[in-house]
Structure 1
Amino acid sequence: MVPHLITALTGPINELEQRILDSMPAIERWFRLEWMEHTPPFYTAVDVRNAGFKLAPVDTDFFPGGWNNLTPAMLPLAVQAAQAAIEKICPEARNLLIIPDNNLRSTYYLMNLAQLGRIFNMAGLNVRIGSISADIKKSTKIDLPDGDSITLDPVVRTKGRLGVKDFDPCTILLNNDLRAGVPGILEDLHEQYLLPPLHASWSTRRKSTHFRCYEEVAKRFGKLIGVDHWLMTPMFEPYGVVDLQSAEGIAALVSRIEGMLTKVKKKYKEYGIKEKPFLVIKADNRTSGNTILSVRDTKDLEAKLRKMGAGLEAGPDPLELILQEGVLTNERVNDAVAEPVVYLMDRYVVGGFYRMHAERGVDENLSAPGSSYVPLAFAESTHLPQPGVRPGGSAPNRFYMYGVIGRLAMLAASYELEATDPDAERYD
């Protein structure tokens, strides 16, 4: 199944696709050189939006769930990438412990854990799943709807090392974004690799830091292939701590929104884009439960912001906002609005899927109850490009382009982790 764009297959997105295809040897060399200098995050998932006139990442996840959406045909790529990642980090690794999210009620999430365990087991590791949730007090087997099952064991800590009963891992893989804060049991581990590192978690992470790094990467990449980096980059502004309970706080935010909308409108005018631009207002320092508001104009905006403030989930820290240029998605699967999600491990694209939502619009967040998933054509290894095929006329070329954008976001993630590493030496 190949999703289709509802826009005519002409214009900047095809020019971008052609530049990327024509520059493929230079692009691959550029990535190789970057990975000589930077360490990729262990695994990532990148939400990409194709507006027909620009293609950009809108979110990058350091602790991706949803691995169960990767089809069996994708698994060999994931297994090879897992082997490469483990060999670099701990070549003598024998045991891997996966620490899941504490919310274990979702069958969908448990199937994700089973798939992750399967990938690393096929990569040659003994795998156990160890929960830090207070609800898991003993070894617990859970049967899954697809006939599979997983076993959750309570994590134990002895002599500065984490494990489960009769299992001492070399490497610990977090599939928990620690949005509620870092528990002491994960700190100061002795001779164990914790991946991703604690500073990748939402206890310290900011979306604005990631997009600042992404903008830097995209500017250099745009120069390499000779295109305006805006075609691959959502404009953004970190707002900082916001007060949605006072008239002054709301008025200040409205003023900033107006200013940024004006900047986006100028870009639209430059490219002759007829669509109406919009911004997405979301939490900079939270991932789960953050209210997302799409803004096309400032009419009735103050009332909307008051409502947004009333509906926000309380968090451990004051709410910080990021203003981000909205990127339409003009892709459809079975007439439902869709967006590609690219999955990466180490420095490799290993697969992906389309997130689709029949009840959502082209300018709305699709990661919401009611969403469903269709594998990308990566499933058949068709992400290898086909030089000579006209832009927009080849699914493999389109998916290769998605993989390039995913890798740019992953490279930005590596910059982000370096910039926020509390143990890194700083040279001013």
Structure 2
Amino acid sequence: MVPHLITALTGPINELEQRILDSMPAIERWFRLEWMEHTPPFYTSVDIRNAGFKLAPVDTNLYPGGWNNLTPDMLPLAVQAAMAAIEKICPEAKNLLVIPENHTRNTFYLSNVVQLKRIFHMAGLNVRIGSISPDIKEPTVIDLPGGEQVTLEPVIRSKRRLGLKDFDPCTILLNNDLSAGAPGILEELHEQYLLPPLHAGWSVRRKSNHFQSYEDICKRFGKLLGIDPWLINPMFNKCGDVNFAEDQGLECLRSNVDALLTKIKRKYKEYGIHEKPFVVVKADNGTYGMGIMTVRDVKDLDGLNRKTKNKMSVIKDGQTVNDVIIQEGVLTNERVNDSVAEPVVYMMDRYVVGGFYRIHADRGVDENLNAPGASFVPLAFEHSTHLPQPGMKPGASAPNRFYMYGVVARLAMLAGSYELEATDPDAEVYT
């Protein structure tokens, strides 16, 4: 089953799928050469939207949750990728400490932590879960849906290392996006690998930096394939010094929204697209689907109500929003069981290991689906080969559709790699 594309404009996307399949050797060689020069993020998930006329990533997460949405059939790929990733970083690794988010009572999130523990256990590591939450003062067992349990233990910081009682890990895997900043307990560790690095956290990361890197990569990739990079790239602008609560900086927002809507209209006209353009305004350092609004007309910004202003003012961990990215809105014209859907692709090291569809029965094609009420359906290829099937009609084959998603997701992951290199505080700067 391939999710149904509800759009008359499947032509451009089928053409793109065909071009990607025909160029597979060149694409794989291109990625191979890139990974010789750049280190992939340790693990990544990418939210993708398929409009039928363009296919683009709209968010890239360097601390992905949701691993529990991967089916058992996908686990062997994740385990192999985990082995490859660990071998590169610390071949003699024996103990792995996973540090999760601090919201300890979210059992759905903790099921994701258990899945990560399972993956790395099967990759040959002793895995324990250490919490940096001040609420965890002793080993705490939490019951999870489906009968599983998770034990959270308080981390212990010695002078130069981090561990648990009677557990000294060589590698520490963060599944905490550090929205509130990097706590001192994680800094200046000695001979321990912290993955991903602290500068991958949202206290440093900016979506605008990520999508600038992605845009640059798309231009080169578009040249390789002979396609318009716009077909896989969401255009964007950004604004700093915005304060929704105080109505400050909204003039910058209006002018940038207006300019971007004009650029999108021009592209739609070029491709004969009759949809209404829209943009998505997001916190530049936002996560968890917070601090997001859809704008279809610049006039929408004139009468923002208090509820919208409050929603846009503060994001996860009480962080105030001052910088926003204005991103070209990409419709999602995919449906699963009559609900609007978008694929989320999961990667570890440089490998695609699986994914799922995020579906939302109460959201429209131009709205954010990462919201309460979302549900998850495994990507439809779990019983078929993971390899593309040349010769199949575009749009008809799950592996071919998924291969196309995997290519776009890997481009976003590569952008994450460029982004981390640019913000690495330990990188040598040559002048």
TM-score tier (shorter)? over 0.9
Give me the whole-angstrom Cα distance separating, in 2, the residues matched to 1:29 and 1:302: 49
Amino acid in structure 1 at the alignment position of 2:314: E
Mapped pair 1:143 → 2:143 = yes
Give me the whole-angstrom Cα distance separating, in 1, the residues matched to 2:141 and 2:310: 40
Greater mean alpha carbon deviation, residues 306-315 or residues 120-129: 306-315
The residue that corresponds to 1:426 in the other structure is 429
SS in 1 for 2:105: coil
1:245 to 1:167, Cα distance in 2 relative to 1, 3 A: closer
User: Residue 340 of structure 1 contacts residue 353 of structure 1 at CA under 8 Å; is this kept in 2?
Assistant: yes
User: Which of the numbers 412, 416, 419 marks the counterpart of 2:419?
Assistant: 416
Mapped pair 1:384 → 2:387 = yes
1:249 CA drift (Å): 2.9
The residue that corresponds to 1:35 in the other structure is 35
Runs of 4+ in 1 over 4 A off after TM superposition: 245-248, 314-318
| Per-residue deviation, residues 315-364 of structure 1 (Å, max 9, x unmatched) | 44551011000000000000000000000000000000000000000000
The residue that corresponds to 2:243 in the other structure is 243
User: Residue 330 of structure 1 contacts residue 337 of structure 1 at CA under 8 Å; is this kept in 2?
Assistant: yes
User: Residue 240 of structure 2 contacts residue 249 of structure 2 at CA under 8 Å; is this kept in 1?
Assistant: no
The residue that corresponds to 1:348 in the other structure is 351
| Per-residue deviation, residues 184-212 of structure 1 (Å, max 9, x unmatched) | 00000000000000000011110000000
Greater mean alpha carbon deviation, residues 5-14 or residues 346-355: 5-14
TM-score (ref. length: structure 2): 0.96
1:381 to 1:34, Cα distance in 2 relative to 1, 3 A: farther
1:68 CA drift (Å): 0.5
TM-score (ref. length: structure 1): 0.97
User: Residue 244 of structure 1 contacts residue 305 of structure 1 at CA under 8 Å; is this kept in 2?
Assistant: no
1:396 CA drift (Å): 1.1
Q: Count matched residues.
A: 428
Give me the whole-angstrom Cα distance separating, in 1, the residues matched to 2:428 and 2:101: 31
The residue that corresponds to 1:166 in the other structure is 166
SS in 2 for 1:146: helix
The residue that corresponds to 1:304 in the other structure is 304
Mapped pair 1:326 → 2:329 = yes
Give me the whole-angstrom Cα distance separating, in 2, the residues matched to 1:99 and 1:35: 27
Amino acid in structure 2 at the alignment position of 1:45: S
User: Residue 74 of structure 1 contacts residue 381 of structure 1 at CA under 8 Å; is this kept in 2?
Assistant: no
1:98 CA drift (Å): 0.1
The residue that corresponds to 2:314 in the other structure is 313
| Per-residue deviation, residues 144-191 of structure 1 (Å, max 9, x unmatched) | 221221111100011310000100000000000011111100000000
Amino acid in structure 2 at the alignment position of 1:16: L
The residue that corresponds to 2:227 in the other structure is 227
| Per-residue deviation, residues 193-235 of structure 1 (Å, max 9, x unmatched) | 0000000001111000000011111111111011000000000
The residue that corresponds to 1:210 in the other structure is 210
Give me the whole-angstrom Cα distance separating, in 2, the residues matched to 1:243 and 1:9: 39
1:285 CA drift (Å): 2.0
The residue that corresponds to 1:188 in the other structure is 188
- Structure 2, unaligned runs of 5 or more: none
Give me the whole-angstrom Cα distance separating, in 1, the residues matched to 2:305 and 2:419: 30
Amino acid in structure 1 at the alignment position of 2:63: F
User: Residue 2 of structure 2 contacts residue 396 of structure 2 at CA under 8 Å; is this kept in 1?
Assistant: no
Give me the whole-angstrom Cα distance separating, in 2, the residues matched to 1:206 and 1:10: 33
Give me the whole-angstrom Cα distance separating, in 2, the residues matched to 1:172 and 1:246: 41
| Per-residue deviation, residues 292-324 of structure 1 (Å, max 9, x unmatched) | 111111234211276533332264455101100
The residue that corresponds to 2:273 in the other structure is 273
1:382 CA drift (Å): 3.1
User: Residue 289 of structure 1 contacts residue 313 of structure 1 at CA under 8 Å; is this kept in 2?
Assistant: no
Give me the whole-angstrom Cα distance separating, in 1, the residues matched to 2:64 and 2:244: 31
- Structure 1, unaligned runs of 5 or more: none
Mapped pair 1:400 → 2:407 = no
1:25 to 1:188, Cα distance in 2 relative to 1, 3 A: same
1:93 to 1:248, Cα distance in 2 relative to 1, 3 A: closer
User: Residue 177 of structure 2 contacts residue 202 of structure 2 at CA under 8 Å; is this kept in 1?
Assistant: yes
